[in-house]
Amino acid sequence: MSNVRNVALDVLIDIEKKRAYSNLSLHHVIETNELSAQDVALLTELVYGTIQRRDTLDYYLQPFIKGKIEPWVHLLLRMSLYQMIYLDRIPDRAVLFEAVEIAKRRGHRGIASLVNGILRSVQRQGLRSLDDIKDESERLAIATSHPLWLVRRWIEQFGFDETKRMCEVNNFPPEQTARVNVMRATVEEVIDRLKEEGIEAIPSSVVPIGTKITKGNAAKTNVFREGLITIQDESSMLVAYALSPNETDVVLDCCAAPGGKTTHIAERMNNRGRVVALDIHDHKVKLIEQQAKRLGLSNIEAKQLDSRQAHTQFAAETFDRILVDAPCSGLGVIRRKPEIKYAKNEKDITQLANVQLNILRAVAPLLKRGGTLVYSTCTVDREENEQVIARFLAEHPEYDRDETLASRLPSSVASYVDRGMLQLLPHHVYSDGFFIATLKKKGEMT
């Protein structure tokens, strides 16, 4: 157990110092350490939980910390307090013992005594009340551990109640979902095959071709290796429904890596037509090619190219459909990458909105008249979503909103569509927060 907590502390230090992504750091540590399934579960809980609840934990710790302490000691205190408050199955005495042992090994007896004293004081005196915070926005920010600027921004955009539900759900662990490659198997067949490998799964209630993994890791199975499934969030699966390509189409997928949406589009075309997948990073183009090979798809052509330069490679009106899955702040995937909420700021959002608009501007001439352009992000911020679409339409009178979007989406999400745009918040169907807009280029397709 102490080894797991040591490893967890290493990961937390790595994320704090290097601003590393939690999912990548955890994956690296799990792959390079011999850990049991039980240890992996505890490690994941400690890392995600401590990051998710950072500001709440600091609020509770603040009265007990006198003077300056080293960053790793602060992280150890956060991690220990997280266990004492949120993990009922671990007794406080075990948490204190392990914390003191780690403090001795990494520091000295003085630090161990400090850690012991702070945690015992918390235990003895109890936690201060969140009701002491009079401002309701600030109280929500501390209670759910989100930055105050972000909470105030979301309240302005969505109202207090929606913001509260979104912030609360952001602290729930994400579920693993998978898309079934229906060219090779049905959902029922995949669930049966997964069961043979000890993985429990049920059909998705959001997307007809999806399955929800309720026990085990489907990414480690033969079902995955044989190309019967792709690990993908349900909201991300909706993009190919919105695009709805035909088998004879030529499709451009901008910013395509790692290829989840690209391969879904290619599957919906029954491995016919042509999907051109662009990504700015050469090493990520290889990821798209690997996924296409695994899934048995030969209609994908992956290229290394900044989509803002796509006009240098392709003539005007080349494509029947275009997907711009734009780089974004990621504020819809806080459950998967909780550190995002502390790393982003309002300036980042404005800069990203300009990048997103520039990509749309660059690829707009490449769509045929009568063609469909889908714009998607994994953020919930309106400056990156509705406002980018509004700015694009104001500059491009040859484009209109596609009001038929709801008819192409599963009934589970159709009611969230408004004026050709879908904004899913994390608590709507308990998927990632996601935005999809569909636009039509005026005229008849030739």
What residues are labeled active site?
378
CB of 106 within 8 A of CB of 38? no
| Residue 154 token pair | 């979301």
User: In the numeric block, which tokens belong to residue 349?
Assistant: 């959002």
Written as six digits, the tokens of 153 are: 């921004």
Q: What is the 3-state secondary structure (H, E, C) of the chain?
A: CHHHHHHHHHHHHHHHHHCCCHHHHHHHHHHHCCCCHHHHHHHHHHHHHHHHCHHHHHHHHHHHCCCCCCHHHHHHHHHHHHHHHHCCCCCHHHHHHHHHHHHHHHCCHHHHHHHHHHHHHHHHHCCCCHHHCCCHHHHHHHHHCCCHHHHHHHHHHHCHHHHHHHHHHCCCCCCEEEEECCCCCCHHHHHHHHHHCCCEEEECCCCCCEEEEEECCHHHCHHHHCCCEEECCHHHHHHHHHHCCCCCCEEEEECCCCCHHHHHHHHHCCCCCEEEEEECCHHHHHHHHHHHHHHCCCCEEEEECCHHHHHHCCCCCCEEEEEEECCCCCCCCCCCCCCHHHHCCHHHHHHHHHHHHHHHHHHHHHEEEEEEEEEEECCCCCCCCHHHHHHHHHHCCCEEECCCHHHHCCHHHHCCEECCEEEECCCCCCCCCEEEEEEEECCCCC
CA distances in angstroms from 28 to 49, 246, 294, listed in the order given: 18, 40, 23
- Rounded to whole angstroms, the Cα distance separating 386 from 297 reads 34
Q: How many C-beta neighbours within 10 Å does residue 216 have?
A: 17
